[in-house]
Amino acid sequence: MGVEVLSGVVSPDHVHILVSHPPQIPVSKLVQRVKGKTSYKMQREFQVLRKQYWGQRMWARGYFACTTGNVTDDMIKEYIDGHTEADDNFKVADFESE
């Protein structure tokens, strides 16, 4: 699709990504593709997720998107890189393949 992921961070309940994409690709189609592909791949890799989300949506229906303009790409990247939320209950090992 000509999309480049510039930065990203995964939190227990949300994801931030900074992408560069061609203007002819609608943001809604990009988000649809990202959610679909990541859901498919995560459920393939982690058996517990496949059982939990069988026949259901893995991602929430909504999303927030904005363009750069008043702020620079570097400012957004800095925000994303500094965005960490400690959650003692969230452990990647809980989702390891069985």
d(CA 94, CA 98): 10
d(CA 77, CA 81): 6
Q: What is the pLDDT of residue 29?
A: 93
pLDDT at 24 exceeding the cut of 90:
yes
User: Residue 43, by phi and psi: left (phi above 0), alpha (psi -120 to 50) or beta?
Assistant: alpha
d(CA 37, CA 63): 16
50 is written with which tokens? 């496949």
Question: Whole-structure pTM over 0.75, yes or no?
Answer: no
The residue behind tokens 């058996």 is 47
**Looking at residues 81-96, what average pLDDT do you find?**
57
